[in-house]
Structure 1
């Protein structure tokens, strides 16, 4: 009997790295003063988005992107993004979770990043990790090669993560449905983990975390000793 293919899906922020990357990325690409000026009038929506999540968070994030990124050359932003994300990874990468990603890669599994972070630097990490694919939040580019700041499609979080992953799996034309491992840390990863064969909470909050109903990756790596 033919073995099932294996897909290993990893969230980025808070899973492979400590904390978030998007706000730091905007500051690196556009400068602190530009981001501060853009964020100040959006402070209310940003706070509501952080608390309520869902479409509130998606909308607030897109409004900030428009304010900061609109009119910027996509090639220049991509070059700056490479410098940013590789430094961010070296400073904020979580060794145990990165080791898990490398283990999957060494087993010949199809490893894919599934992140709400911009596709611009998700693609850079795909090449850096030498993995199969990456699914991030795609940003619209106009005919002059300038970012508009708007999403191309939806913010890649929540339900959209699993939809994009299923779409990606379908494009691979596997002969047999794959076994899916999924690793996340926040409520934005719930749908991704719910659709996986082997879901893992890779967060650091334990029983206080948003994914506490799922097996903890830390216990998979370091199983508890039986008394």
Structure 2
């Protein structure tokens, strides 16, 4: 008996791909406005954004800073703030084209997966908002039901995004070869490890280095955000 082919996958980055902005930066600024973190967090946030653009910060250091912002509170305590963040900061930055792109893949019968370097607290409600049933994000450690301020496992960033996707495929009972026919939409050169493994990479609102790589390799280039806000 011949096994049916695996479902076709459509993978999506979030920040500057579907979201007009950077979720980590927006979350930090949101917390600062509501006096939920110390004021000095803003300087570190701005430095990390600059270092990320320049490729000068490790995945662990980047993720650890945003993990520490959540330390000392439980998921239940953060939940109402997550709701406000979605309503006040995220929904206004999700253009209709982002919803339409995800919906077009669902309508085609594809399995749609959001895969983002942001941690789950920041990203999970956005995933639901956009209609994703699967969300890969950087995971955070809990100790006795309280966020410890530590990252759990491998950050979902750069090579870790490819590794986490391979682990997810195995847990879904899907072969690694499923990536050969998958779409992956991303704006960032940081996602090159996963972009290079899929059969249909798409550079969306790409940064300068990704645009150069995409054009050199004949990849599709797409504009979802239109007149986008400046990058984090």
TM-score normalised over the length of structure 2: 0.79
Q: 5 Å matches for 1:1-227?
A: 2-29=4-31, 31=33, 33=35, 34-40=37-43, 42=44, 46=48, 49-50=51-52, 52-53=54-55, 55-56=57-58, 58-66=60-68, 68-143=69-144, 145-174=145-174, 177-178=177-178, 179-203=181-205, 208-212=208-212, 213=214, 214-218=219-223
1:17 positional shift: 0.7
1:97 positional shift: 3.3
Q: Is the 8 A contact 1:15 1:94 kept in 2?
A: no
CA offsets per residue over residues 130-161 of structure 1, 9 Å max, x none?
Answer: 33300011111111x22122111122111111
- The runs of 5 or more residues in structure 2 that have no matched partner are 225-232
- Give the 3-state SS of the residue equivalent to 2:40 in structure 1: helix
Q: How far apart in 1 are the matches of 2:94 and 2:176?
A: 33
Q: Is the 8 A contact 1:49 1:58 kept in 2?
A: no
C-alpha spacing 1:162/1:61, structure 2 compared with 1 (3 Å): closer
1:65 positional shift: 3.4
Question: In the comparison of the two structures, how many residue pairs are matched?
Answer: 214
1:86 positional shift: 4.2
C-alpha spacing 1:43/1:166, structure 2 compared with 1 (3 Å): closer
Q: How far apart in 2 are the matches of 1:43 and 1:21?
A: 12
Q: Is the 8 A contact 1:78 1:121 kept in 2?
A: no
- Give the 3-state SS of the residue equivalent to 1:12 in structure 2: coil
1:101 positional shift: 0.9
